[in-house]
Amino acid sequence: MNRFILRYQGEGSKPAEDVNRIRSLENIKVLDESSPRMLLVEGAGARLKALVESMPEWVLTPQRMIPLPDPRPKPRKRS
């Protein structure tokens, strides 16, 4: 399952009404809503994308991992 970040860009905290609309989507699970302006959800991206297009104060971004920065050279192949 893919994870997505939904961020509210309007004034103040994320509106409960908007959160309920997101929560009511079929096969979408809200994993974290502790942030005043964000939600972390799991589910089908297409449904979320369609909903967010009707909610102009929200942006949708896939969750991804950022590696620990390390400039040390590493072997790519074993000899």
Partner 1 sequence: MKSKLSIQQYILMPVRGFRAIQPFSPLSVVNFFISIASGGMVSPQAFGKKKAPPVKMRVLDSIHEDGPKLVELLPDQAITLRASQPSVKLVPVVYYRTAVSPRLTIRSRAVAGAGRAPLKITLKVVSKKDAKPVSGATVVAFVDFEKGIGDQGTTNSKGEVRLSLGGSRKKVQRLYVYPEKGFWGRLKKNITVISGTTIGLGPLDLSYADSLRYFYGNSPRGSGTGIKVAVIDTGVDTIHSDLHVDGGMNTVLGEDPKDFGPNGSSHGTHVGGIIAGQGRPPSGLRGLAPGVKLRSYRVFGKNAEGASNYDIIKAIDQAAADGCDLINMSLGGGRSDDAMRAAIEEARAKGSLVIVAAGNEYRSPVSFPASDPLAIAVSAIGRKGTFPKDSTEAGDISRPYGKDRNNFIAAFSNIGPELDLTGPGVGVLSTVPGGYAPMSGTSMACPAVAGFAAKMLSMPSHRNILKMRRDQARSDAMAQALLQAAKSLGFGPRYEGKGLPL
d(CA 71, CA 22): 41
Q: How many residues bind partner 1 (CB under 8 A)?
A: 34
Least distance from C-beta 21 to partner 1, angstroms? 18
Least distance from C-beta 16 to partner 1, angstroms? 19
d(CA 64, CA 5): 10
Non-local (6+) Cβ contacts of 75 within 8 A are none
Q: Is 53 in the site for partner 1 (CB under 8 A)?
A: no
Query: Which residues in this chain contact partner 1 in the complex, by CB under 8 A?
Result: 3, 5-7, 9, 31-32, 34-38, 40, 59-79
